[in-house]
Amino acid sequence: MTHSDDRQHRSILQSIAHRAMLDRGLAPDFPPRAIAELDGIHGPATRTAESTRDLRNLPWCSIDNDDSRDLDQLTVAEALPNGAVKILVAIADVDALVKKQSPLDDHARQNTTSVYTAAGIFPMLPEKLSTDFTSLNSQSDRLAIVVEIVLAGDGSLQSSDLYEATVRNQAKLAYNSVAGWIEENGPLPPGIDPVKGLEENLRLQDRMAQRLKALRHLHGALDLETIEARPVFDGDILKDLEAEKKNRAKEIIEDFMIAANGVTARYLATKKFPALRRVVRTPKRWDRIVELAAERGEALPPEPDAKALEKFLVSAKAADPLRFADLSLSVIKLLGAGEYVVEFPGGSAAGHFGLAVKDYTHSTAPNRRYPDLITQRLLKAAMASAPLPYENDELAELAKHCTEQEDAVKKVERQVTKSAAALLLESRIGEQFDAFVTGASNKGTWVRLLHPPIEGRLERGFEGLDVGRRLRVQLVGTNVERGFIDFERVA
């Protein structure tokens, strides 16, 4: 008898997620003190300082997943003389309601991020805040930190600034429908036409995002494209894991957020403030990346070179676009994980190898990521010429803690995704699939199926395999509770 005969899938996965979070030192539930503090918050923060600008009249919009309710950022563009363009990114002022060392902050500090599982979301902040009072909701006045970025026509930075403002989201938009319209594969999404000037504004945003992207790639940013598996439910029954891919609407947000995070990092540096940087160091397994390129007839230099790697990735995508996501995943695994480090005034933290940027922080998602809330507090202090809200030792400890908790959260999310995958596959024991190796170490060898995009452990036949190798596997077992999916090599 399969699990689908016992209970509804969603409740099975919610129970697994809850237990997995506890096992890894995460808090799936808000403590009573945080709930008590929440009960005393009766509305969004309002303007208190005369220096807070009123920018509610601009055609701001949000672009996010169809089901997103925790809206962290809005964007708008303005054409300037000589082909220049001003980009404004408004970031929700979460610190206005969630104060340092408050019970709500203590809970956020413990988990450091919202946990997105196939069972549902375990938010870093209660939904009363993250999807309402501190969310940049449609047709709602909200306080924000605005990152102003003035770009030349080619996407190069001319000037930047940061300031506090009141903003109003004029249109809540979704990635897929906006991308379909921009890419001329779909109609104008509802919500755009009623806002005067928004249609042309979005086209301007798209043009500048593409120029930002092109400029980053000239400097060696990597064009990686992974497949994210999102659960598809029919009521509470899991029907499929659906692959999500990049599109032009996602690139608007991605490239503007990268630019905003760079401006934020440099702003703190000019104010002689420390910053919580996000870094991806030079890859330790470059030798295997060189081998992957050689298997495809391309030569990479013996030492890590982002520009050479990007040139290879572009060539590989053109040669085999259907399998490019598989190569991307292999390269990402070999690049290694990102981490948080503190850059103190006068210091020089490592940059972000994959993005080809030296100055990078996380600042654009304070409703769902604690490092962004830390950065927001540093920014507000810097803008007000106020004392540092964190001691140096405290920041260093927070950087380490955020890196560790992020790793724990990713393991929980992967475990629940694997449990969901095991639910889908438990009736298919004995079937064979095309796959490729995603991990190979003394801890085990891991493979991912080409369809459905599910990862599992290779129990037999793994000798001599390394990341990126294609092979044929047979499903030999599943364990839904533990998220285990076991394969053996058949070819």
Beta bridge partners of 63: 173
- In 235-350, at which residue ranges do the beta strands (DSSP E only) sit? 237-244, 275-279, 339-343
Q: At 60, list the tokens.
A: 């701001």
Whether this prediction's pTM lies above 0.95 is answered by: no
Alpha-carbon dihedral sign for residues 407, 15, 122, 333: positive
CA count, 13 A, side-chain hemisphere, 114: 23
Tens of pLDDT along 413-422? 989 988 999 9
Pairing of strands 85-92, 141-151: antiparallel
Q: Identify the pLDDT of residue 1.
A: 40
pLDDT of 242 above 50: yes
**pLDDT greater at residue 244 or residue 448:** 448
Write down the residue that tokens 């009249």 correspond to. 57
pLDDT of 7 above 70: no
Q: Identify the pLDDT of residue 320.
A: 79
Query: pLDDT band for position 5 (50/70/90)?
Result: very low
**Going from the N-terminus, what domains does the chain have, and what CATH number goes with each?**
3-267 (no CATH), 428-491 (2.40.50.140)
167-176 average pLDDT score:
96
The greatest distance separating any two alpha carbons of the chain, rounded to the nearest whole angstrom, comes to 70
Q: Identify the pLDDT of residue 220.
A: 66
Tens of pLDDT along 53-76? 999 999 999 999 888 999 999 999
Name the nearest CA neighbour of 130 among 165, 104, 100, 101.
104
Write down the residue that tokens 């169809």 correspond to. 66
Tens of pLDDT along 346-402? 776 666 666 656 678 899 999 999 999 999 999 999 999 999 999 999 999 999 999
474-478 average pLDDT score:
96
289-293 average pLDDT score:
90
pLDDT of 404 above 50: yes
Distance CA 17, CA 305 (A): 39
Q: Identify the pLDDT of residue 491.
A: 76
Q: Identify the pLDDT of residue 351.
A: 63
Q: At 47, list the tokens.
A: 């303007």
Residue 256 in contact with residue 294, Cβ under 8 Å?
no
Q: Identify the pLDDT of residue 21.
A: 96
Distance CA 214, CA 319 (A): 20
CB atoms within 10 A of CB 219: 13
Residue 13 in contact with residue 3, Cβ under 8 Å?
no
Q: Identify the pLDDT of residue 475.
A: 96
Q: Identify the pLDDT of residue 212.
A: 93
Name the nearest CA neighbour of 60 among 71, 69, 45.
71
Write down the residue that tokens 């709500």 correspond to. 104
Q: Identify the pLDDT of residue 409.
A: 96
Distance CA 135, CA 144 (A): 10
Distance CA 466, CA 300 (A): 18
Residue 20 in contact with residue 245, Cβ under 8 Å?
no
Distance CA 106, CA 112 (A): 10
Q: pLDDT over 70 for what percent of the chain? A: 94
Residue 413 in contact with residue 419, Cβ under 8 Å?
no
Cis peptide before 453 (omega within 30 of 0): no
Pairing of strands 120-122, 484-489: unpaired
Write down the residue that tokens 């439910």 correspond to. 233
Residue 209 in contact with residue 256, Cβ under 8 Å?
yes
**pLDDT greater at residue 330 or residue 3:** 330
Q: Identify the pLDDT of residue 6.
A: 47
Distance CA 71, CA 277 (A): 23
pLDDT of 205 above 90: yes
Tens of pLDDT along 33-42? 999 999 999 9
181-196 average pLDDT score:
95
179-203 average pLDDT score:
95
269-290 average pLDDT score:
88
First and final CA of the chain: distance in angstroms? 31
Q: At 467, list the tokens.
A: 């990341």
243-251 average pLDDT score:
85
Q: At 316, list the tokens.
A: 């590989």
Q: Identify the pLDDT of residue 200.
A: 97
**pLDDT greater at residue 439 or residue 476:** 476
1-16 average pLDDT score:
73
Residue 101 in contact with residue 110, Cβ under 8 Å?
no
Distance CA 185, CA 177 (A): 9
| Structural Rg of the chain based on CA atoms | 23
Query: pLDDT band for position 322 (50/70/90)?
Result: low
274-294 average pLDDT score:
86
- In 85-200, at which residue ranges do the beta strands (DSSP E only) sit? 85-92, 115-117, 120-122, 141-151, 157-168, 171-174
3-class DSSP state of 276: strand
Task: Round the average pLDDT of the chain to a whole number and report it.
Answer: 90
CB atoms within 10 A of CB 377: 20
Residue 142 in contact with residue 93, Cβ under 8 Å?
yes
Return the exposure string of 64-93: e unless at least 16 CB atoms fall within 10 Å of the residue's CB, then b.
beeebbbbbbbbbbeeeeeebbbbbbbbbb
